[in-house]
């Protein structure tokens, strides 16, 4: 049997109507016949629990007139802290009590699954894979009807002439959001690689400014040896592959070898009869 969630238990609530003052619902009384039907409830729970079995009777609660729920301890190790809830009832003026339903409910210290989060709230940058579709909501504030949001007259003319007007384009909010994200990211001025760069992207020959208002701050890096090749970088970003970086000859780590041109070392040649004097050694 699959564990089922039950709606919040009945409890006294304050009901308010549109036409009259607030009124209180009454707390149902415990029906004696239903309260005594513990064995009936236990049989139903045992039948549902199967081999795992059930434990002690934990108590009961009146749900409504002639409707009582009995609780039993759940012995299944996979459901620690859960309890079997068997609801019994009887018809008005009838003596026979019958089982209405039997479910497994979490107790106060039951282990529960984490709260379910809608996929749209779980989605993170980079989650989209090949073949995935991510429709954009019609009221997405990052987008606005095309053409109306084109501030730049040059772009507007270009789009009009080429006939590439799009249904929606970046709204001001979408553009500001992207600019903030890019500027504060790894291709912005605060990236470690930018701190040690010889100069900024704005002076680099590989910096290709974006179109529209974003061109004031952002461009694409077109240097295949730069870590940001093909990515949007801010004008005050930078890296060591800057087009105008100059290489300074590195100083040698080693001193030139020291050669003793005055001293000499006698090396035996195997012919000990030949005396080695200054003349033989080339010294006068
Ligand atoms: S090569 Fe370096 S300095 Fe030049 S645009 Fe690319 S990231 Fe900027």
49-81 exposure pattern, b = at least 16 Cβ within 10 A, e = fewer: beeeebeebeebbbbeebbbbbbbbbbbeebee
Q: Which candidate, 77, 74, 72, 80, places its Cα nearest to that of 39?
A: 72
Confidence of residue 63 (pLDDT cuts 50, 70, 90): very high
Quote the tokens at residue 188.
């912005």
Ligand 1 binding pocket (C-beta < 6 A) is: 201, 204, 206-207, 221, 223, 226, 228, 233, 237-239, 241-242
Is 230 a member of any domain? yes
Is 260 a member of any domain? no
* DSSP 8-state code for residue 254: S
pLDDT surpassing 50 at residue 65: yes
Q: Please tell me the distance from the alpha carbon of residue 197 to that of residue 237, in angstroms, as a whole number.
A: 8
Segment among 60-64, 129-133, 201-205, 258-262 with least mean pLDDT = 258-262
Atom number of ligand 1 nearest to Cα 223: 1
Residue nearest to atom 6 of ligand 1 (CA): 221
Tally of domains in the chain: 2
Q: pLDDT tens-digit profile of 190-210?
A: 999 999 999 999 999 999 999
Say if residues 48 and 87 touch (Cβ distance below 8 Å): no
Is 96 a member of any domain? yes
Q: Please tell me the distance from the alpha carbon of residue 63 to that of residue 34, in angstroms, as a whole number.
A: 11
Segment among 107-111, 219-223, 263-267 with least mean pLDDT = 263-267
Strand partners, 218: 234
Segment among 123-132, 159-168, 182-191, 202-211 with least mean pLDDT = 159-168
Q: Which residue has the higher pLDDT, 109 or 150?
A: 109
Is 261 a member of any domain? no
Q: Domain of 63?
A: 23-106
Residue nearest to atom 4 of ligand 1 (CA): 242
CATH of the domain at 46: 3.10.450
Say if residues 182 and 228 touch (Cβ distance below 8 Å): no
Q: Out of 76, 106, 136, pick the residue that ends a domain.
A: 106
Is 116 a member of any domain? no
Q: pLDDT tens-digit profile of 205-262?
A: 999 999 888 999 999 999 999 999 999 999 999 999 999 988 766 666 666 777 777 7
Q: Please tell me the distance from the alpha carbon of residue 31 to that of residue 88, in angstroms, as a whole number.
A: 10
Cα 88 to middle of ligand 1, angstroms: 75
Quote the tokens at residue 9.
């238990």
Is 213 a member of any domain? yes
Q: Please tell me the distance from the alpha carbon of residue 150 to that of residue 164, in angstroms, as a whole number.
A: 13
What pLDDT sits at residue 17?
40
């Amino acid at each position: 049997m699959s564990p089922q969630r039950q709606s919040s238990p009945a409890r006294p609530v304050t009901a308010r109507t549109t036409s009259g003052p607030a009124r209180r619902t009454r707390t149902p009384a415990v029906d004696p016949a239903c309260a005594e039907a513990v064995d009936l409830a236990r049989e139903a729970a045992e039948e549902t629990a199967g081999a795992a079995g059930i434990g002690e009777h934990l108590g009961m609660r009146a749900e409504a007139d002639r409707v009582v729920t009995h609780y039993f301890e759940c012995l299944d190790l996979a459901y620690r802290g859960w309890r079997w809830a068997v609801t019994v009832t009887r018809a008005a003026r009838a003596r026979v009590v019958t089982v209405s339903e039997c479910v497994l409910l979490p107790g106060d210290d039951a282990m529960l699954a984490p709260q379910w989060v809608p996929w749209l709230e779980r989605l993170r940058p980079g989650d989209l894979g090949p073949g995935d579709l991510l429709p954009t909501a019609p009221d997405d504030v990052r987008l606005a009807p095309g053409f109306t949001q084109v501030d730049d007259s040059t772009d507007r003319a270009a789009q009009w002439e080429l006939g590439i007007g799009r249904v929606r384009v970046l709204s001001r909010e979408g553009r500001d959001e992207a600019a903030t994200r890019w500027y504060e990211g790894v291709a912005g001025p605060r990236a470690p690689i930018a701190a040690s760069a010889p100069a900024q992207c704005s002076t680099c020959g590989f910096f290709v400014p974006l179109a529209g208002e974003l061109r004031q701050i952002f461009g694409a890096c077109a240097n295949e040896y730069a870590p940001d090749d093909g990515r949007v970088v801010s004008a005050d970003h930078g890296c060591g592959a800057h087009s105008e970086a100059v290489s300074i000859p590195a100083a040698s780590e080693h001193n030139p070898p020291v050669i003793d041109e005055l001293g000499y070392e006698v090396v035996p040649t195997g012919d000990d009869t030949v005396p080695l004097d200054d003349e033989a050694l080339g010294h006068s």
